[in-house]
Amino acid sequence: MTRAAKEFSSLRTLSPAFTLVEVMITLTLLGFILLMIFGVFRLGIAAWEKGETSREDYQKNRIASQLLTQQLKSAVAYKVKSQKAEGDFLAFEGKPRSLKFVSTLSLKTRKPSGFVYVFYEFREEGREGGRLLFYEGKVVNRNFLEEPPPEDARVPLFTGLSAVRFEYYQEEDAQKNQPGVWLDEWDAKEERALPTAMRMTLVFKKEGGMGEPPGVSILASIPSNRYEEVRTGPIRRSVPGRTR
């Protein structure tokens, strides 16, 4: 057998092996491409679902913030008849993480229903974040401000919170040379009036613990921040033909 014949015979023997390797490489590359496409597709679906969830949460938080703003603006200086020797006082107790007051707007009925007693409280609850609890009841008991609301009647308004801060604005007093300032607490018994404005700051827990957590600030002015007692006297009617 000549040298050319031997080389041709060796090529015929090796050619199927090279073809099999090429097929394996092609299938491997095709598998990697399909895997990348499937991964990108899954990432796209996850991002879309997360976006939809974030949009729904944003809408819920926006609606709840608007309702809270309306209820805060409807706060009134309601005087409580105290049974103690300290005398009557206004039903308002403002602290850094809780708030008690009387409002003319009910979030439960969404319509005029008289005075309602409102209670907000922030409660921390582990890794998932804290909750802003809400309670609303009728003003029927004289000692409602001193009695804690029932636990089973408290409803969570916001969840996944890392902090909630209440602030109370004390307006400027030119006579006392006192500028306007935001306070962490408000004692209506001492001030004998409600703050002219309130601010509620909600700090949501950041997912993954990275970056600065987002915050929502709710600001509401209180027009009826002072108690006005209305006194009525007997009405005198004039009778025709009678002289006074």
- Bridge partners (DSSP) of residue 102 are 76, 117
pLDDT band, very low/low/confident/very high, at 199 (cuts 50, 70, 90): very high
Instruction: Say what the pLDDT of residue 192 is.
Output: 85
Q: What angle do CA 30, 33, 34 make, to 5 degrees?
A: 85
User: How many whole angstroms from its chain centre is CA 57?
Assistant: 10
Instruction: Say what the pLDDT of residue 201 is.
Output: 93
| Residue 115: closest CA among 147, 87, 140, 142 | 140
pLDDT digit string, tens, across residues 140-178: 766 777 778 888 899 998 988 999 999 999 988 777 777
Instruction: Say what the pLDDT of residue 179 is.
Output: 85
Examine the pLDDT at 72 and tell me if it is beyond 50.
Answer: yes
pLDDT band, very low/low/confident/very high, at 45 (cuts 50, 70, 90): confident
| Residue 93: closest CA among 166, 172, 199, 157 | 166
Annotate 197-224 with three-state secondary structure. EEEEEEEECCHHHCCCCCEEEEEEECCC
pLDDT band, very low/low/confident/very high, at 191 (cuts 50, 70, 90): confident
**Whole-angstrom Cα distance, residue 2 to residue 138?**
112
Residue listed under structure tokens 């915050």 = 215
DSSP one-letter string for 135-195: EEEES--TTTTTSPPPGGG-EEEEEEEEEEEEEEEEPPBTTTTB--EEES-EEHHHHSS--
Q: List, in order, residues 6 or more apart from 54 with CB less than 8 Å away.
A: none
**Whole-angstrom Cα distance, residue 96 to residue 213?**
19
**Whole-angstrom Cα distance, residue 138 to residue 113?**
9
> Against a cut of 0.85, is the pTM above it?
no
Instruction: Say what the pLDDT of residue 236 is.
Output: 47
